[in-house]
Amino acid sequence: MAEHQAPTAPTNTVVLIEPSLLNLQGFEEALARGWSPDPRRQQDKVYAEAELEMLRHDRAGFLSRLISSEVIATSVSNRAPQYLAIQPFWIWDGDFCGYITLRHLPGTTRFPLHVPGHVGYSIVPWKQGRGYATQALLLLLPIAAKAGLARISVICNENNLASRRVIEKAGGMLLRTGTDPSDSPDITKLFFDLPTTHN
Ligand SMILES: CC(C)(COP(=O)(O)OP(=O)(O)OC[C@H]1O[C@@H](n2cnc3c(N)ncnc32)[C@H](O)[C@@H]1OP(=O)(O)O)[C@@H](O)C(=O)NCCC(=O)NCCS
């Protein structure tokens, strides 16, 4: 369940908390340590530095960009633009551990071309290997169910064995393998189906 209040003592369990100006510091410190929040740009120091600079220049603006839904224009005539609903959460064990984001186009399970599935997540390197990503994905499922999604699509790179394991531990079933327009055509992706409720 998402909580506003950040717990204090570090534990081996995580909660999901909504990003706010009060807890942005952990994200800032992670950027300053060279962590790139975009899994597709993990080694991209320039990107991480640019994000850090933007955050420090305008904290409120940075936060609002992070949590605001995107307007997606449609090329189909007579269709109103759609909103890509974006719900990011910090993964929190008393300190900032990473983030997990739910994104979806209300009313459809399809995605705009640049969006790689319903979920994005990353754990900072110094908090990895503690089961945090798996816990976070499991915590996101009721939130997705509440948003009207009976199942979600989760995508990872074929060679991202840790992420694959996370998705499988959370109950994801491999549907297919292939490329995705959200990334380079040279990168093979695994497409998982993950039910949000266990009946
Ligand atoms: C993928 C990622 C989120 C995993 O976070 P995490 O908190 O360390 O994940 P967990 O501890 O919940 O689980 C990781 C599992 O992968 C396994 N694993 C880790 N590295 C592995 C590897 N190289 N090969 C096989 N399995 C591996 C772990 O042993 C663990 O499985 P287990 O519980 O059965 O032992 C983290 O590595 C990360 O942020 N990577 C960079 C960003 C990214 O890839 N995001 C996902 C994009 S789809």
Span 24-79, pLDDT tens digits: 999 999 999 999 999 888 889 999 999 999 999 999 999 999 998 887 766 666 67
Chain centroid, CA 103 distance in Å: 8
Q: Which pLDDT tens digit goes with each residue over 125-154?
A: 999 999 999 999 999 999 999 999 999 999
In-domain check, residue 14: yes
Distance (angstroms) between ligand 1 centre and the Cα of 136 equals: 12
Distance (angstroms) between ligand 1 centre and the Cα of 14 equals: 15
Q: Is the CB of 36 under 6 A from ligand 1?
A: no
Distance (angstroms) between ligand 1 centre and the Cα of 44 equals: 20
Instruction: Choose among 73, 102, 98: nearest CA to 162.
Output: 98
Distance (angstroms) between ligand 1 centre and the Cα of 64 equals: 29
Return the C-alpha torsion angle 198, 152, 20, 50, nearest 10.
140
Return the C-alpha torsion angle 26, 9, 119, 85, nearest 10.
-70
State which residues form the domain around 81.
2-150
State pTM to two decimals: 0.92
In-domain check, residue 124: yes
In-domain check, residue 178: no
In-domain check, residue 168: no
In-domain check, residue 171: no
The closest residue, in CA terms, to atom 14 on ligand 1 is 162
Q: What atom in ligand 1 is closest to the CA of residue 160?
A: 44
Q: Please tell me the total count of domains within the chain.
A: 1
Q: Is the CB of 129 under 6 A from ligand 1?
A: yes
Do residues 34 and 48 make contact, with C-beta atoms less than 8 angstroms apart? yes
Q: Is the CB of 122 under 6 A from ligand 1?
A: yes
The CATH number that applies at residue 105 is 3.40.630
